[in-house]
A and B are shown apart, each in its own frame.
Chain A
Amino acid sequence: MIKHIYQKLFATKPGAEQRIPRYKQTRVYQWLRSNPKLRDIRQSLPLILHLTRQDLVERHTGSVLGATWTFVSPLINILVFVLVFSSIMGAKLEGFGAEIDKYAYSIYLICGMLAWIAFANSLGRITNLFKDQSHLVTKVNVSLLALPLSVLLTETVVYVIGMVFFIGFLLLVDFPLSAYWLFIPVIYALQCLFVYALGVTLAVLAVYLKDIKEVVTVVLQVWFWVTPIVYVMEILPGWVQRGMQFNPAYVLVDAYRSLIMRQQLPDFLPITLFAIAAFGLLALGLWLLGRTERDLRDCL
């Protein structure tokens, strides 16, 4: 299936090659074409897609349910959040513009949890990626820059599946879906950029320092509870609330909530700062990998 999507996206249509489109003549395009690192990434795309497929589908070959397992964990997550927190805990949250108070906390929770799961899982896996995939890295020439993409892609698929269930649930309880949903992919793309950048940096460090793996596990756990994901911002003291603007995870989670629950665009300033930070980290990660790649490969 992925193969078909890929072909549809990238294959040239017959009869399209007579004229060079204008975008192909721009300097940016030329640079993108000729940059050797990007060329490596482009050439590894089929492999990345295949690794993703392996992760999602082939990992379950031999099991009775097969690829269905990929859908199970997001579904269970949603069901738990909805059933446990709306019926059993019955937490009431106000001021989200929705009259269906019964489900408000579930929606609040799912908005944050789905994003956090994608964030934390990707980051954790990318951190250990070079070690985990050392059987590939030391045997065949794979682009170290491209490898994390397969993790992002896998987690994205899981996230999308979760979101589809989420939308299904929202329709079921008559929660209004708005055009602001169209901005979710933008926020998610920024999230991926941030995770990729931070992940590559940590992955390089993790090859040298085994401790990084443990540190990341612990930090992610603390991070989860520091960020208002299961609780609401208002219960925190004022100074923490002000500082929260510098918590990237909160900025992300809050942006999703703005779009989904408040039906408005997220605050401009935090998300801009977040984007700048992401690009800064990306520069750092790329510099670090470029600087250490030769050594890194010796070391694996």
Chain B
Amino acid sequence: MIDIQGLNKTFKLFHRPADRLREAITGRVRHESYHALKDISFQVAPGEVLGVLGRNGAGKSTLLKLLTGVLMPDSGQINIDGRITGLLELGTGFNPELTGLQNITANGLMLGMSHEELDNRRQEIIEFSELGNYIQEPLRTYSSGMTMRLAFSIAIHAEPRCFLVDEALSVGDGYFQQKCMKRIREFKESGGSILFVSHDLNAVKMLCDRALVLEDGSVVFDGDADIAVNRYNRIMARQAEEEEGRHLGRQHGAYGTGEVAVTTGSVAGQESHSATISSGEMLDIDLTLSAHQAVGDITLGIMVRDRFGQDIFGANSFQLGQTLNLAEGSVQRVRLSLQADIAPGKYTITIGLHSREHHLEACYWWYDSYLQFEVAGFKQHLFSGVCRLPLTLETLPAESPSPAQQLE
């Protein structure tokens, strides 16, 4: 049973370390506050698994630290009916110079186990961790997976009433993760309370009865795990949009010498008539060019980039053997059409107007991520990877010679 009521935690940001001491003693404010957790209340019943979702900085780690007692809350109650242990990324207080066996003793005592309990449990801990003879080696020689195995093994064998799990679990290999999951389920069935902090939405759905969504230090949702996952996805989507907005803001505006410029542009699928197309559909990019001066031999280039900013496809009119010539004050409409045989996802199109082969000579106009479009679903067959390469399959009679044999 974990019972949290009205938990608040503020971190103080000081300009100088000495200010911290002065304030701690006198009580006069000398800091800026960062409110990490705001009025958090929730319960985890015996035999229940509560998931905690939230993006980075939402307050998950702070919550875990408060629960383990490493940090102290500003206000609020934490009631835990017994020992609380866990497998946490923030570590377990292992001493790298000691052997695995010595660390079992030290760590067990830190978790509040008695020597008697430890003597009874030591063998089980070693067996569960599957470290074998490595248990006699200093911890600094362990891989992170081995350390995690030992940490989990001690934590679960300390007979806790409550167990905390976070991303540290993902350090282990698939086999050991499954073993841990099985052990966690057994723990749940025996009436333990579990707090499961993860970005693995699938695992949250599978394991948790209920989930919290933390956002900016507050609980914005507490309920069914599936709904919580959707809520979390929405928050992440919003963040993605914000990121994109910021990205656009940063890249806003064209640069270049400005003799010619693109004044309007749009992108549309030939069938969908919108900026969302199917993979394999023809995509039209319509641009209006206007010239302030007469310029000859203009090259128009495009670059399609995916959401990671990776170049997917780029080409220009010079490579096509075409150049544009514009008279002063003239307006020219152009349409580029390409077959979008690319994987589903969001893409941007960068447009450039420059002289001849490349934009390093004379760049008239350049605009990063000028247009966006999204690919969703497939027009032809499914494929994996970045793009679809034309592929055929033939069935041949068994005795027909292979190409290599034909050469001979």
Contact = CB atoms under 8 A, between A and B. Distances in A.
A4 to B, nearest CB: 10
Given A58-B98, A139-B92, A142-B110, A292 B69 contact: no
A213 interface: no
Interface string B15-28: 00110110011000
Interface residues on A, range: 20 to 34
A136 B93 contact: yes
A178 to B, nearest CB: 39
Interface stretch (B101-109, B216-224, B386-394): B101-109
Given A294-B74, A298-B71, A140 B110 contact: yes
A293 B74 CA distance: 11
A58 B25 contact: no
B91 interface: yes
Interface in B247-278: none
B110 A209 contact: no
B24 A50 contact: no
Contact of B24 (A46, A137, A140, A291): A291
B223 to A, nearest CB: 30
Interface string A278-300: 00000000001001111111110
A140 B25 contact: no
B314 interface: no
- Which label, helix, strand, loop or mixed, suits the secondary structure of the A interface? helix
Nearest to A208: B21
A298 B9 CA distance: 10
Contacts of A205: 21
Interface in A136-165: 136-142
B350 interface: no
A135 B106 CA distance: 13
Nearest to A288: B25
B158 to A, nearest CB: 11
Contacts of B70: 137-141, 297
Interface of A: 3, 43, 46-47, 50-51, 54, 58, 61, 135-142, 205, 208-210, 288, 291-299
Given A291-B24, A297-B71, 17 more contacts: A43-B112, A46-B114, A50-B105, A135-B93, A136-B110, A138-B90, A140-B92, A140-B107, A208-B18, A209-B18, A292-B24, A292-B25, A294-B71, A295-B20, A295-B24, A297-B70, A298-B71
